[in-house]
Amino acid sequence: MDLIRESGVSLRGKLAAGEITAEALVQAYLARIDEVDGEIGAWAHLDPDHALAQARTLDQLRGRGLPLGPLHGLPVAVKDIVDTADLPTENGSALLRGRRPETDATLVSLLRQAGAVVLGKSVTTEFAMYAPGKTANPHHLKHTPGGSSSGSAAAVAAGMAPLAIASQTNGSVIRPASFCGVVGFKPSHGRISRHGVLTLSRPLDTMGVMATTVEDAALLAEVLMAYDSSDRDMRPLPAPGLLDVAREAPPLPPRFAFVKTPVWEQAEDDMTAALSELADHLGADCERVDLPALYDRALPSHRSIMCADLAKNLQPYYERGREGISPQLAALIEEGRSVTAIDYNRALEWREVLYDGLAEIFENFDAILTAPAPGEAPSGLEATGNPAFCTMWTFLGTPAVSLPVFTGSSGLPMGVQLVGPRSEDARLLRSASALLALLRDGGTA
């Protein structure tokens, strides 16, 4: 039985039924890591003995007939900006080499409570920004996997983990998911706790997940959407029921607004052709919608907020070890120092103005359909690719999902990005499932 080829939902059922043990499953993934990670480099920290010990404990709980959590026995890769008390958390920086947090981040506590095995820490770019880590794209080792959630995307794409934790401050979930050919889900801002996670920008930082299926992404994200008063952007909302809703057939076929966004000229021919063909394939269920020129404000407003917050939140590292910070990050911090309070607050105001302007689209369509990246993963490991196609949706705090639908002219995967209204994460995942089912049943566009 090739366990690593099965979905997380399928594996969960077999674990619950006693058809496989958590130890056997973790061992299968460790064998896969041993086989392929030498070339890919998706893991920042891996302790096989500790992973197996977690699995054995879970098997003992099941053997005693105790209740099982919704992620019982499933291995999860955790991005190395998320604190783990039993593994290092170095934020992708040499300045923090050997850092050992005393406590788990809230989301890690939720993983453990749900019965997950923290398999290891996946590679992040430096401080989850632009300077790449060691990870290569599993589909072509000379191409970037994207960033900053490089290791999470690569680990799932290469069959080294069924599920992974990621984060996005600009394009760090959706872009690597597209480049690596996996499902990447960035929930609405403020739906998953960031307590115990590296802070870059409170208005922008959003935790997300990677998986091979929409159902798996829904399963993992649902566990993490528990209210945490330690995160000031969270609200005590009811559980969203992501998995059940993602599995439902929508009452009517979903309608999509094909939106090109203000950076469309940066899209490559492969992506523009694929999305246009998909829109044509969907016919009356997809309508092209143009955004007014006002939306040109989104990217510069996002940049003002991001750079100013980087200058504030990473200032201690900059002062302590300027020579240990990449030129890319140092330049962003220095740019952030020049952002005035007036510019920062105006940028925050634009966020609400531009989001309110999408109301008519979301009244008439189930989701926006757009590009997640310019095209295929670029060649070279010196950069992680252009995040511009994700920036506006991060800035506006909307949920987004990248689906592995296309293959580019070089044979590398490309995704399609769906975007929904804030707080309607479950509906977005249901629309994503419906789109994939349509393409599966009717032939890909």
Active site amino acids: 79, 148, 172
Given a contact cutoff of 8 angstroms between Cβ atoms, the answer to whether 419 and 425 are in contact is no
405 C-beta neighbours (distance < 10 Å), count: 19
Written as six digits, the tokens of 214 are 């929409």
Report the alpha-carbon distance of residue 124 to residue 152 in Å, rounded.
Answer: 8
Structure tokens at 399: 């949920």
Strands 400-407, 183-186: pairing is: antiparallel
CA 269 to chain centre: 25
Asked whether 103 and 85 are in contact (CB, 8 A), the reply is yes
- DSSP designation for 31: H
Q: Where are the beta strands (DSSP E) in 128-259?
A: 163-168, 183-186, 206-211, 256-259
Dmax over CA atoms of the chain, in Å, equals 62
**Cβ proximity of 350 and 298 under 8 Å:** yes
* Through-space distance between the first and last CA atoms of the chain, rounded to whole angstroms: 33
Shortest CA distance to 389 belongs to which of 266, 270, 279? 266
**Residue 91 in contact with residue 198, Cβ under 8 Å?**
yes
Task: Characterize the bridge pairing of strands 43-46 and 75-79.
Answer: unpaired
**361: which 2 tokens?**
């689209």
Residue tagged 């030129």 (tokens)? 327
Spell out the alpha helix ranges (H) of 103-190. 106-113, 150-157, 174-180
Contact assessment for residue 405 and residue 438, using Cβ atoms and an 8 Å cutoff: no
Closest CA to 118 of 43, 184, 64: 43
Cis peptide bond prior to 148, omega within 30° of 0: yes
- Going through 229-273 in order, the beta strands assigned E by DSSP cover 256-259
Contact status, residue 188 vs residue 146, Cβ threshold 8 Å = no
Vertex 173 angle, CA 133 and 122, to 5°: 40
